[in-house]
């Protein structure tokens, strides 16, 4: 049959019309839209049984109570645990809220890794846990057999709780005094409490009950202490019509929310505090009862203050007018419950001991020591009652050696650990450290002078990281024994920040371990056991969990049920026997303290003629600069005037910028005596002229695509400046210059 | 029948928010809690804020003065759940051609139906608050991270608009629970948005504006006879003059902050502004 | 080769030349199609639109082509309903241009929406309060009308016309055309208006918002009016351009003058109304929302007061006056200048109503946001232009679009010989003279 053109036309037209009249096109249209509503590549989270598990967040020293929502075996949301002493209001910070992005995120280490290639190149060979433990213990046995157990050093985030204490115990049994914890404002507070009150403990700041808070640069609303607790305290202060005064060179979020913002020049804060002391004394507004009965050295203190800290004199160089100093000092002294707070930013550096003492002296002048709404010295936690460490001869000899940082030596009697000295020592004499353990810390990123730290790492023959994440320090390791993340493990976390009430939070497994990781406590116990002898005998526990249960003893049941243990609400220690000083009194001034006041502030490194500006880092709660890096959700909150694409910004006062000829968003070269970086400029009227303000928490070189390569790590641009009084790093800023890129 | 009548006399719920800007610290916890609660997608680079989905966004506003007189205030902006000049005449709801966004007369919540939205983005053009976001990309969770997704909120596909829902799924759960338990009302504490719950400073208060027992109505003091305008001298609403009639009230003691909530001519005084005009 | 398809009594360029032109336009078209596929497959991240610019280049292009395509409905209205019979000599082309404009608008919309596969929800889940729903309904209906109006033209092709069915169909459709024209005008009134309403109802956007008459904001009426005013100018401009390219006079001057005069008066009345609307908005609407009109033209790198001047004075009042004033209207250079200005004016109006509306900050702490389209957006916007050129080329070659072409361009070459395109300059001059003679003839009558 021949298909004529006519026939073909009729067929095709008829076919088209016919098909259009069938339900087919409509069905297809409908199916297409249904398909678009259920694209297979758009995930559909499976539903299941809902449960809530209470635990404690360990991502910062705040240790807030958290409540994790689960659907079957998946954790789907972290919320604040309402109504606990750890977290009254139930709020939580951005980092705590986005913890699941760490748990399930791509920057985690899948299992034990052994370096396979050059250091820092990121070439790894997965090994078994057995191999990993064998490897470390063989290496450690080797070092020990050479009679140099002291050349093993360990760096962790904290020194309280079973995990840091297991490390410390391991070092003791092994024979090394070189246990280090990362620096923080606690270092300064410990020194202050020890010097003035003779107490070995931590400072409990009763922000919640104060009605006048005078903060010396503390980022109370940007991550200081336990962020939710501190923020609630400040909100309460506002509700009660209390006063917040912020002394800070920059209009930080805390300064923005303060009733009064005193823009004192960096480095003059101690002098400002002492000039306020001058006013309080001169106007007889100090607590005569407390000063008269419970202090010593008042006369000497008065003499020193009168001689050197007349507000007129101080006003001339600190940037705050004399009458403002007087007004603030009087308002502070006449408040019901005034509280002066020390600690720069989030409190991740020790800072100046002189300033810490001066601030504490203000509290003492108004009699606000060991009182509700004041500073309470809380004795160190003592719930870990472990049997004594077995020390064999090797260990005994090793423990006799001087700590590498000379902390707790006559030179620096009050410092627990001086971390920058550890790395300086390594750089000066490489043989001193043969092996380094790093747990829950990221010194290659978060220590000032991180370039020097990195250099020191190159000189340490054997580095073991216990990190859960492939961070900058893990990248420098020879062996990684990855820890569970906090949502997969048990851990006791004694609270030291933002509370006056001793509390132990329990971090408990919310989900089963997702990867081939192991609790760091178990790793330490296994390494000890593999070393045999006295070292092994010092670790009688089968595993970490039994060690923890034993440590918490009778409280275990209650704590694992509730998620925390809190000491009964009790009155602060009495003033009559609250001071451990020889005289039993609060020491306002003695020879040691006088010497600290006598030396000036450690000044920022660099020559002012070459580097006319001052680079000052600032803390933001939307970023994190500790062991754990920021999460993708947190990065959503970071403004495009802080980070844009890969470019990090510095904030400049428009006047300073105009002086150099810089405009908004312009790219510049930022140089300091220790490093340089390309940054962009953001103009901000909240920045003091002459200062370059830069955020902490950016500029990672590791930790995956969400973090790496974004912005500048300020620790690469600053260097430690040793406080002559404490030995601790007091560096906050450094001199700098900007040149057009 | 009689029961129904008495039920009708009671005003419907009108969920709303009061945000104390003097308490807000700009920490961003609300933004993160919101993203985590609502399965908001994220990308490697979130620095282009014009392409970054943030149902809750914290704006930073300044008084424009020089150092050291500069002041800063943060302003969290969820969807304002506008009612418009007559209930339901929200800028966005009135323009959506496919009824993919709707106004609930029962709760006052403006919904978004992702599977009905076909992505014309007219609602985004209509919203003066930029509370609406488009899925320019397919949402991608790094391998393993999809485990953190909540089944209460469906992840959105590419090509649709999304926005804050006042955590409507939480309302549904609370309502179902309340209904199962003697058909009682949903309690204040039973239905809270993720942002209000997460705010460490306690700056966000959420509840029923029509229920005098709820804290939010005591703070916002809405005048039901004047388009719910607040009678609290500390309070203001964003762009009230446009007649959007929002359900998010902001509070501040500072006049410059209150003034930043709306547009004023040079000679105008915020407290004596003209009432919004009626729109058809 | 294709001479059998070419209408009787007219000359067309050689096939190779036609195909060459077609392939150039086709290449541009393919580029646009590639960009279109990118947008469909990879999603709208291919554009430079963002959460502040939900509406951008495409919506502008949509609004602009629909405004320019307004020549079809308005010329139809004039011819079939009002009875300006001379316009029958340009109505075919007006319909063709309208058809191209409207099909382009639909295509652009199909690219623009995030979920094209669900775009029929606009009909299924229609929200009758939305201006966009009104647009969608009227736009698709009117497109159907344009198709019906275009079909008889297609059927007039020499070969198709030989089929008795098609011949009769075409004839019958012609006689019913008045009904369609009236329907088209009615539908156009609403969708042109509702496109104006799209911006005017945005009470959250003080730049676009206008007061209402019943449910319609002023922009509703202004958009309809401006489409009716500038659409014919665009038809005339494209006709002029076609004449330049084909080197032929295709429409007699009396027709052109008539339509230009109507267009002129429409522009004049429109721009007067637009000026009143603008002044009212400046001094009444905007200040009521706390905004000085200057605010909308400050603090940004692009949107300045020059836009107001350009849109209203330079591209509004000026072309209106030129077209209304007979001596200028009848001089080709002035007339075409007025057309171009008018086209720019109406396009600028649509641009402003879409893009400036998006750019202006509304919250006092928000910022101006400017936007530059991505190449994919540009390519997909040029795509309809290429498609239009192709459709015009094919239609012109094979369909009797211009009823006066045969009369204006008599073929003097003996029958049986393939006519060739003149390349000899002398020849051209003779032809031009012939054309100008015919113009004089027309003017004299």
Inter-chain contact C120–A35, Cβ cutoff 8 Å?
Answer: no
Nearest-CB residue to B159 (from C44, C126, C290) = C44
Going by their DSSP bridges, the two strands A65-71 and A74-80 should be labelled as antiparallel
Q: Domain boundary at A373, A405, A428, which? A: A373
Binned at pLDDT 50, 70 and 90, residue A19 comes out as confident
End-to-end CA distance of chain B: give it in Å, rounded. 35
- Bridge partners, B133 (sequence order): B162
Inter-chain contact C287–B265, Cβ cutoff 8 Å?
Answer: yes
DSSP structural state of residue B38: T
pLDDT tens-digit readout, A86-139: 677 789 999 999 999 999 999 999 999 999 999 989 999 999 999 999 999 999
Say if CB B67 and CB B80 are below 8 A apart: no
Chains A & C: contacts with CB separation below 8 Å:
12
Q: How far is C121 from chain A (nearest CA, A)?
A: 9
At A440, phi and psi to the nearest 5? 50, 35
pLDDT tens-digit readout, A310-338: 999 999 999 999 999 999 999 999 999 99
| pLDDT of A11 strictly over 90 | no
Q: Where are the domains of chain B?
A: 13-272
Architecture in CATH of C15-444: Up-down Bundle (1.20)
Say if CB C85 and CB C368 are below 8 A apart: no
CB atoms within 10 A of CB C349: 26
* Rounded mean pLDDT, B215-238: 95
Interface test with A, best of C42, C117, C124 (most A CBs within 10 A): C117
Q: How far is A631 from chain B (nearest CA, A)?
A: 10
Determine, yes or no, domain membership for A662: yes
Binned at pLDDT 50, 70 and 90, residue B274 comes out as very low
Say if CB C370 and CB C359 are below 8 A apart: yes
* Rounded mean pLDDT, A644-655: 97
Determine, yes or no, domain membership for A34: no
Q: Domain boundary at A338, A354, A373, which? A: A373
Q: Where are the domains of chain C?
A: 15-444
Rounded to the nearest 10 degrees, the angle between the axes of helix C218-246 and helix C253-280 is 150
Interface test with B, best of C204, C207, C359, C367 (most B CBs within 10 A): C204
Interatomic CA distance for residues C393 and B97, integer angstroms:
37
Inter-chain contact C130–B97, Cβ cutoff 8 Å?
Answer: yes
Interatomic CA distance for residues A31 and A560, integer angstroms:
53
Integer angstrom CA distances of residue A522 from A58, A536, A550, B140:
18, 13, 15, 36
Instruction: Sort A591 into a burial class: Cβ within 10 Å, 0-12 / 13-18 / 19+.
Output: exposed
Q: Domain boundary at A373, A401, A425, which? A: A373
User: Domain B13-272 adopts which CATH fold?
Assistant: Alpha-Beta Plaits (3.30.70)
Determine, yes or no, domain membership for A129: no
- Helix (H) / strand (E) element for A113: namely strand A113-115
Residues of B in contact with A48 (CB under 8 A): 151
Q: What is the CA radius of gyration of chain C?
A: 23
pLDDT tens-digit readout, C32-41: 999 999 999 9
Query: Which tokens hold the place of C423?
Result: 């390349």
Query: pLDDT at position B54, please?
Result: 97
Q: How many residues does chain C have?
A: 445
Nearest Cα neighbor of A471 from A487, A454, A488 is: A454
Instruction: Sort A450 into a burial class: Cβ within 10 Å, 0-12 / 13-18 / 19+.
Output: buried
Inter-chain contact B70–A685, Cβ cutoff 8 Å?
Answer: yes
* Rounded mean pLDDT, C317-328: 96
Interatomic CA distance for residues A689 and A692, integer angstroms:
8
B129 CB within 8 Å of a chain C CB: yes
Residue window 29-88, chain B: list those with CB within 8 Å of chain A.
Answer: 29, 31-33, 35-37, 39-40, 42, 44-49, 52, 54, 58, 60, 62, 64-68, 70-74
Determine, yes or no, domain membership for A591: no
Going by their DSSP bridges, the two strands A675-683 and A643-644 should be labelled as unpaired
Cis peptide before B68, with omega less than 30 degrees from 0? yes
Interatomic CA distance for residues A565 and A66, integer angstroms:
14
Which residue of chain C comes nearest to B269, CA vs CA?
C290
Query: pLDDT at position A86, please?
Result: 67
pLDDT tens-digit readout, C84-123: 999 999 999 999 999 999 999 999 999 999 999 999 999 9
Q: Is the dihedral of CA A476, A477, A482, A487 positive or negative?
A: negative
Go through A380-390 and write b for each residue having 16 or more CB atoms within 10 A of its CB, e for each that does not: ebebbebeebb
Inter-chain contact C120–A37, Cβ cutoff 8 Å?
Answer: no
Query: pLDDT at position A5, please?
Result: 66
The region, left, alpha or beta by phi > 0 then psi within -120 to 50, assigned to residue C78 is: alpha
Interatomic CA distance for residues C381 and A561, integer angstroms:
65
C118 CB within 8 Å of a chain A CB: yes
Binned at pLDDT 50, 70 and 90, residue A230 comes out as very high
Query: pLDDT at position B273, please?
Result: 45
> In chain A, what percentage of residues exceed pLDDT 90?
78
Interatomic CA distance for residues B241 and B244, integer angstroms:
8
Q: How far is A622 from chain B (nearest CA, A)?
A: 6
pLDDT tens-digit readout, B243-264: 999 999 999 999 999 999 999 9
Nearest Cα neighbor of C125 from B96, A31, B108, B158 is: B96
Which residue of chain B comes nearest to A645, CA vs CA?
B47
Q: What is the CA radius of gyration of chain B?
A: 19
Residue window 113-172, chain B: list those with CB within 8 Å of chain A.
Answer: 115, 138-139, 141-151, 154-159
Say if CB A519 and CB A484 are below 8 A apart: yes
Q: Which of A328-342, A654-668, B126-140, C179-193 has the lowest mean pLDDT?
A: C179-193
Determine, yes or no, domain membership for A125: no
**pLDDT, greater one: A246 or A504:** A246
Binned at pLDDT 50, 70 and 90, residue C414 comes out as low
CATH code of the domain covering residue A710: 2.40.40.20
Q: Which of A3-17, A271-285, B76-90, B137-151 has the lowest mean pLDDT?
A: A3-17
Going by their DSSP bridges, the two strands A243-247 and A212-216 should be labelled as parallel
* Rounded mean pLDDT, B182-204: 93
- Helix (H) / strand (E) element for A132: namely helix A129-145
Interface test with C, best of B121, B245, B278 (most C CBs within 10 A): B121
Question: Mean pLDDT score of chain C, rounded to an integer?
Answer: 90
Residue window 35-54, chain B: list those with CB within 8 Å of chain C.
Answer: 48, 50-51, 53
Query: pLDDT at position A495, please?
Result: 87
Binned at pLDDT 50, 70 and 90, residue C415 comes out as low
Query: pLDDT at position C436, please?
Result: 44
- HEC string for B134-188: ECCCCCCCCCCHHHHCCCCCCCCCCCCEECCCCCHHHHHHHHHHHHHCCCCCCCC
Say if CB A136 and CB A479 are below 8 A apart: yes
Integer angstrom CA distances of residue C318 from A495, C321, C335:
78, 5, 11
Going by their DSSP bridges, the two strands B229-230 and B235-237 should be labelled as unpaired
- HEC string for A349-418: CCCCHHHHHHHHHHHHHCCCECCCCCEEEEECCCCCCCCCCCCCHHHHHHHHCCCCCCECCCCECCCCCC
Binned at pLDDT 50, 70 and 90, residue B271 comes out as low
Interatomic CA distance for residues A127 and A519, integer angstroms:
17
Q: Which residue has 């139930």 as its token pair?
A: A90
- Bridge partners, C103 (sequence order): none
Determine, yes or no, domain membership for A714: yes
C365 CB within 8 Å of a chain A CB: no
Query: Which tokens hold the place of B190?
Result: 């039973």
| pLDDT of C430 strictly over 80 | no
Question: Mean pLDDT score of chain A, rounded to an integer?
Answer: 92
Determine, yes or no, domain membership for A575: no
Q: Based on the structure, what is the number of domains in chain A?
A: 2
Say if CB B244 and CB B80 are below 8 A apart: yes
Interatomic CA distance for residues C170 and C174, integer angstroms:
6
Q: Which domain holds residue A647?
A: 613-740
Query: Which tokens hold the place of C176?
Result: 């019913």
Interatomic CA distance for residues C113 and C106, integer angstroms:
11
Nearest Cα neighbor of B33 from A70, A637, A229, A94 is: A94
Query: pLDDT at position A499, please?
Result: 78
| pLDDT of C434 strictly over 70 | no
Long-range contacts of C293-300 (CB under 8 A, 24+ apart): C296/C207, C296/C356, C296/C360, C299/C368, C300/C359, C300/C368, C300/C370
Q: How far is C115 from chain A (nearest CA, A)?
A: 8
- Please compute, for residue A370, the number of CA atoms within 13 A of its CA located in the half-sphere on the CB side: 21
Q: Is the dihedral of CA C289, C292, C296, C298 positive or negative?
A: negative
CATH code of the domain covering residue A257: 3.40.228.10
């Amino acid at each position: 049959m021949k298909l004529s053109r006519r026939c073909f036309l009729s067929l095709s037209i008829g076919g088209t019309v016919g098909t259009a009249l069938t339900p087919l096109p409509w069905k297809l249209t409908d199916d297409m839209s249904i398909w678009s509503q259920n694209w297979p590549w758009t995930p559909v989270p499976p539903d299941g049984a809902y449960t809530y598990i209470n635990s404690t967040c360990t991502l910062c020293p705040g240790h807030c109570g958290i409540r994790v929502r689960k659907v079957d075996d998946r954790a789907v949301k972290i919320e604040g645990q309402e109504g606990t002493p750890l977290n009254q209001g139930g709020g939580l910070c951005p980092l705590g809220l986005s913890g699941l992005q760490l748990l399930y995120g791509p920057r985690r280490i899948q299992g034990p890794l052994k370096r396979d290639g050059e250091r820092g190149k990121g070439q790894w060979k997965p090994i078994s846990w057995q191999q990993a433990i064998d490897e470390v213990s063989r290496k450690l046995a080797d070092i020990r057999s050479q009679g140099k157990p002291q050349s093993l050093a360990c760096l962790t985030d904290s020194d309280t709780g079973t995990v840091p204490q297991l490390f410390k115990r391991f070092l003791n049994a092994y024979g090394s005094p070189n246990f280090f914890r990362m620096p923080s404002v606690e270092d300064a507070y410990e020194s202050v409490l020890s010097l003035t009150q003779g107490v070995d403990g931590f400072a409990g700041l009763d922000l919640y009950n104060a009605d006048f808070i005078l903060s010396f640069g503390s980022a109370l609303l940007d991550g200081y202490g336990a962020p939710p607790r501190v923020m609630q305290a400040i909100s309460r202060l506002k509700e009660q019509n209390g006063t917040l005064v912020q002394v800070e060179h920059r209009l930080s979020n805390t300064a923005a929310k303060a009733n009064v913002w005193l823009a004192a020049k960096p480095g003059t804060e101690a002098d400002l505090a002492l000039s306020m002391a001058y006013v309080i004394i001169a106007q007889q507004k100090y607590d005569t009862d407390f000063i008269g009965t419970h202090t010593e050295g008042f006369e000497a203190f008065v003499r020193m203050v009168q001689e050197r800290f007349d507000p007129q004199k101080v006003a001339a160089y600190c940037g705050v007018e004399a009458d403002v100093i007087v007004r603030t000092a009087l308002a502070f002294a006449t408040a019901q419950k005034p509280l002066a707070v020390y600690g720069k930013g989030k409190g991740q550096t020790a800072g100046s001991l002189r300033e810490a003492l001066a601030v504490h002296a203000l509290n003492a002048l108004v009699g606000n020591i060991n009182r509700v709404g004041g500073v309470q010295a809380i004795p160190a936690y003592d719930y870990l009652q472990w049997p004594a460490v077995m020390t064999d001869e090797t260990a005994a000899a090793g423990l006799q050696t001087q700590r590498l940082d000379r902390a707790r030596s006559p030179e620096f009697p009050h410092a627990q650990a001086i971390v920058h000295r550890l790395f300086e020592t390594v750089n000066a004499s490489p043989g001193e450290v043969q092996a380094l353990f790093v747990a829950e810390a990221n010194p290659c990123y978060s220590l000032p002078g991180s370039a020097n730290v990195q250099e020191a790492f190159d000189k340490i023959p054997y580095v073991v990281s216990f990190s859960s994440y492939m961070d900058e320090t893990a990248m420098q390791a020879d062996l990684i024994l990855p820890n569970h993340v906090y949502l997969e493990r048990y851990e006791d976390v004694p609270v030291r920040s933002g509370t006056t009430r001793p509390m132990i939070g329990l971090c408990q497994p919310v989900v089963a371990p997702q990867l081939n990781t192991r609790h760091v406590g178990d790793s330490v116990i296994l390494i000890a056991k593999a070393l045999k002898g006295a070292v092994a005998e010092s670790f009688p526990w089968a595993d970490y969990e039994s060690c923890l249960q034993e440590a918490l003893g009778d409280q275990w049941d209650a704590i694992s049920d509730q998620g925390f243990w809190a000491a009964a609400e009790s009155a602060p220690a009495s003033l009559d026997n609250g001071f451990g000083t020889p005289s039993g009194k609060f020491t306002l001034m003695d020879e040691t303290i006088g010497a600290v006041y006598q030396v000036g502030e450690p000044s920022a490194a660099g020559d002012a003629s070459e580097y006319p500006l001052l680079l000052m880092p600032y803390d933001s709660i939307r970023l994190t600069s500790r062991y754990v890096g920021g999460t993708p959700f947190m990065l959503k909150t970071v403004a495009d005037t802080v980070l844009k694409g890969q470019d990090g910004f510095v904030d400049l006062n428009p006047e300073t910028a105009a002086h150099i000829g810089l405009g908004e968003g312009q790219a510049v070269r930022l140089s300091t005596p220790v490093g340089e970086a390309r940054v962009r400029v953001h103009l901000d009227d909240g920045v003091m002229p002459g200062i370059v303000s830069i955020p902490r928490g950016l500029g990672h070189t590791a930790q995956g695509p969400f973090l790496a390569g974004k912005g500048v790590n300020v620790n690469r641009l600053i260097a430690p400046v040793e406080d002559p009084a404490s030995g601790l790093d007091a560096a906050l800023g450094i001199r700098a210059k900007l040149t057009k890129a | 029948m009689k029961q129904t009548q008495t039920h009708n006399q009671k005003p419907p719920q009108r969920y709303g928010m009061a945000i104390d800007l003097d308490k807000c610290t700009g920490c961003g916890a609300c933004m993160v809690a919101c993203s985590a609660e609502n399965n908001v997608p994220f990308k490697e680079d979130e620095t282009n804020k014009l392409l970054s989905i943030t149902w809750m966004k914290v704006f930073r506003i300044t008084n424009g003065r020089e150092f050291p007189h500069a002041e800063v205030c943060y302003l969290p902006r969820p969807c304002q759940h506008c009612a418009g000049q007559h209930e339901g005449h929200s800028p966005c709801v009135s323009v959506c051609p496919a009824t993919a966004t709707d106004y609930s007369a029962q709760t006052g919540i403006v919904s978004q139906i992702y599977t009905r939205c076909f992505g014309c983005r007219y609602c985004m053009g209509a919203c003066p608050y930029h509370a609406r976001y488009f899925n320019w990309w397919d949402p991608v969770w790094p391998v393993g991270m999809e485990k953190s997704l909540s089944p209460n909120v469906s992840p959105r596909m590419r090509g649709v608009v999304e926005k804050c829902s006042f955590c409507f799924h939480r309302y549904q759960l609370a309502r179902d629970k309340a209904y199962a338990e003697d058909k009682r009302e949903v309690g204040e504490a039973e239905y809270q948005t993720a942002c209000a719950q997460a705010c460490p400073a306690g700056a966000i208060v959420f509840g029923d504006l029509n229920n005098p027992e709820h804290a939010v109505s005591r703070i916002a003091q809405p005048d039901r006879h004047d388009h719910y305008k607040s009678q609290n001298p500390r309070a203001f609403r964003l762009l009230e003059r446009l007649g959007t009639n929002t359900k998010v009230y902001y509070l501040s003691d500072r006049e410059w902050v209150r003034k930043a909530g709306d547009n004023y001519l040079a000679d105008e005084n915020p407290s004596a502004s003209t009432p919004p005009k009626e729109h058809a | 080769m294709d001479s059998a398809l070419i209408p009787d009594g007219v000359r067309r360029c050689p096939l190779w030349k036609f195909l060459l032109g077609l392939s150039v336009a086709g290449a541009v078209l393919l580029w646009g199609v590639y960009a279109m596929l990118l947008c469909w497959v990879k999603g709208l991240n291919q554009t430079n639109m963002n959460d502040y610019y939900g509406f951008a280049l495409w919506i502008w292009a949509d609004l602009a082509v629909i405004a320019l395509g307004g020549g079809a409905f308005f010329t139809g209205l004039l011819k079939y309903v009002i009875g300006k019979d001379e316009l029958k000599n340009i109505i075919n082309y007006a319909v063709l241009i309208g058809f191209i404009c409207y099909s382009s608008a639909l295509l652009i919309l199909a690219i623009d929406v995030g979920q094209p596969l669900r775009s029929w929800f606009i009909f299924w889940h229609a929200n009758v309060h939305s201006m966009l729903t009104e647009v969608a309904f009227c736009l698709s209906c009117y497109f159907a009308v344009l198709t019906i109006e275009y079909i008889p033209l297609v059927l007039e092709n020499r070969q198709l016309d030989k089929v008795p069915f098609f011949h009769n169909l075409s004839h019958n459709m012609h006689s019913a055309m008045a009904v369609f024209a009236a329907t088209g005008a009615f539908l156009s009134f609403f969708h042109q208006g509702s496109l104006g309403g799209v911006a005017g109802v945005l009470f959250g956007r003080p730049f676009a918002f206008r007061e209402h008459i019943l449910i319609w904001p002023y922009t509703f009426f202004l958009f309809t009016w401006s489409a009716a005013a500038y659409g014919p100018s665009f038809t005339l401009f494209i006709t002029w351009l076609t004449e330049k390219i084909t080197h032929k006079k295709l429409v007699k001057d009396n027709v052109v003058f008539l339509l230009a005069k109507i267009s002129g008066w429409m522009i004049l009345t429109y721009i007067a109304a637009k000026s009143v609307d603008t002044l009212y908005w400046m001094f009444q609407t905007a200040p009521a929302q706390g905004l000085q009109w200057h605010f909308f033209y400050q603090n940004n790198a692009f949107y300045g007061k020059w836009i107001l001047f350009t849109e209203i004075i330079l591209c509004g009042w000026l072309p209106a006056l030129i077209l209304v004033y007979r001596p200028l209207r009848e001089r080709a250079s002035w007339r075409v200048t007025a057309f171009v200005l008018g086209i720019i004016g109406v396009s600028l109006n649509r641009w402003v109503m879409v893009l400036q509306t998006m750019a202006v900050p509304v919250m006092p702490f928000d910022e101006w946001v400017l936007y530059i389209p991505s190449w994919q957006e540009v390519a997909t916007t040029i795509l309809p232009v290429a498609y239009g050129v192709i459709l015009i080329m094919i239609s012109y070659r094979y369909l009797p679009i211009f009823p006066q072409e045969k009369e204006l361009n008599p073929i003097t070459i003996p029958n049986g010989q393939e006519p060739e395109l003149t390349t000899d300059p002398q020849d051209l001059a003779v032809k031009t003279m012939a054309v100008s003679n015919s113009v004089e003839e027309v003017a004299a009558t």
